């Protein structure tokens, strides 16, 4: 299946004449965690079961960026341009200085107990790091190291690297996964993918949205969208507040009013996506890079990704 299915005419705002899905690279087992490095015009992403991080750019093609990678999953850039990692293997949030290649552990415990397996993360304009901690990396040795959970649940955390303050901001999502702020950071979207590993059809595959009060507290939990087929494993938000989420067959595009505007079909199960300022093209918008099962895809769109206001790179 290929192409774009439109359910609402508002989808036309993001489409260009060359908005066509393109396969960029394929050679993996299960791809996740894409992040765009604008300075070097390079995409990095995780191949979790193969325990490596890969890189690709239009001039040099693909290569192994780090192996072994301690079963890294999600990535994000902090406000100084350092690369943040969700490490299943270390059960930690790690930081790599891209100038020196030095990697350090930022946080790996809550109340003295190890995290489950940090999965995805985002950085707010105040520099705080918000991340999810489901159990997927400790359930087996496929995407981490099998272990018993030390936490009382699967939480969403807020970590402030300025003072090392760590707090739980959400306890109500059964298995939190992808997350993203609205452009003005007044709302936080969190996926619940508890249906991921269940054979009986139970569990959740929806996105919840919360109000962000005083920059640090989540209130007014409500259902934003139920994703079908598949899961809202990971997603991104553009500057107008639309959500671009993974699913089994496509990137599903939602208006911030909850309307499903359309689908960008992908021939593999989608896990995540990220916006990129790709200078290899002079089109008006940005490129959406997509991790899907064993491959990387991209599509040029007439929109731009929402980013922390204080990002220096």
Is the confidence at residue 31, as pLDDT, over 70? yes
List the beta bridge partners of residue 35.
Answer: 44
Q: Give dist(CA 203, CA 175) in Å, integer.
A: 9
> By the 8 A CB rule, do 286 and 18 touch?
no
Q: Which of 135, 27, 21, 35 is nearest to 77 (CA)?
A: 35
DSSP annotation of 152: S
- pLDDT level of residue 279 (50, 70, 90 thresholds): confident
| Confidence at residue 278, expressed as pLDDT on a 0 to 100 scale | 82
Alpha-carbon Rg for the chain, nearest whole angstrom, is 18
**251-271 mean pLDDT:** 98
**What average pLDDT is seen over the chain?**
95
pLDDT digits (tens, 9 = 90+) for 56-82: 999 999 999 999 999 999 999 999 999
Q: What percent of the chain has pLDDT over 70?
A: 96
Structure tokens at 75: 């990535």
The CB density around residue 202, as the number of other CB atoms within 10 Å, is 8
pLDDT digits (tens, 9 = 90+) for 101-159: 999 999 999 999 999 999 999 999 999 999 999 999 999 999 999 999 999 999 999 99
| Confidence at residue 202, expressed as pLDDT on a 0 to 100 scale | 85
Instruction: Tell me the backbone φ, ψ of residue 12, rounded to 5 degrees.
Output: -60, -25
Is the confidence at residue 216, as pLDDT, over 60? yes
Among the listed ranges 47-51, 201-205, 288-292, which one has the minimum average pLDDT value? Answer: 201-205
| Domain ranges for the chain | 4-301
Where would I find the beta strands (DSSP E) of 58-160?
61-66, 72-77, 83-87, 92-96, 103-107, 109-110, 113-114, 121-123, 129-132, 156-160
Annotation: CATH topology of 4-301? Neuraminidase (2.120.10)
């Amino acid at each position: 299946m290929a192409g774009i299915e439109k359910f609402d005419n508002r989808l036309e705002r993001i489409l260009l004449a060359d908005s066509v899905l393109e396969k960029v690279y394929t050679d993996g087992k299960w791809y996740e965690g894409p992040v765009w490095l604008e300075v070097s015009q390079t995409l990095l992403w995780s191949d979790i079961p193969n325990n490596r991080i890969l890189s690709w750019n239009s001039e040099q093609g693909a290569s192994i960026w780090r192996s072994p990678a301690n079963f890294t999953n999600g990535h994000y850039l902090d406000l100084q341009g350092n690369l943040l990692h969700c490490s299943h293997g270390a059960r930690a949030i790690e930081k790599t200085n891209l100038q020196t290649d030095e990697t350090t552990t930022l946080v790996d415990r809550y109340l003295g107990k190890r995290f489950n397996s940090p999965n995805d993360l985002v950085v707010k304009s105040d520099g705080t790091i918000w991340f999810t901690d489901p159990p997927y990396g400790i359930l087996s040795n496929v995407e981490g190291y099998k272990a018993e959970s030390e936490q009382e649940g699967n939480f969403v955390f807020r970590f402030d690297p300025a003072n090392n303050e760590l707090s739980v901001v959400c306890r109500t999502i059964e298995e939190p996964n992808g997350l993203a702020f609205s452009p003005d950071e007044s709302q936080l979207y969190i996926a619940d993918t508890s249906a991921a590993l269940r054979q009986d059809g139970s569990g959740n595959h929806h996105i919840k949205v919360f109000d962000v009060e005083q920059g640090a507290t989540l209130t007014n939990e409500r259902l934003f969208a139920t994703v079908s087929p598949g899961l809202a494993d990971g997603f991104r938000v553009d500057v107008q507040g639309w959500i671009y989420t993974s699913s089994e067959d496509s990137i599903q595009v939602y208006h911030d009013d909850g309307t499903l505007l359309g689908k960008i079909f992908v021939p593999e199960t989608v896990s995540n996506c990220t916006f990129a300022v790709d200078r290899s093209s002079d089109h008006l918008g940005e490129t959406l890079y997509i991790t899907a099962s064993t491959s990387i895809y991209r599509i040029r769109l007439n929109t731009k990704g929402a980013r922390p206001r204080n990002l220096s790179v």
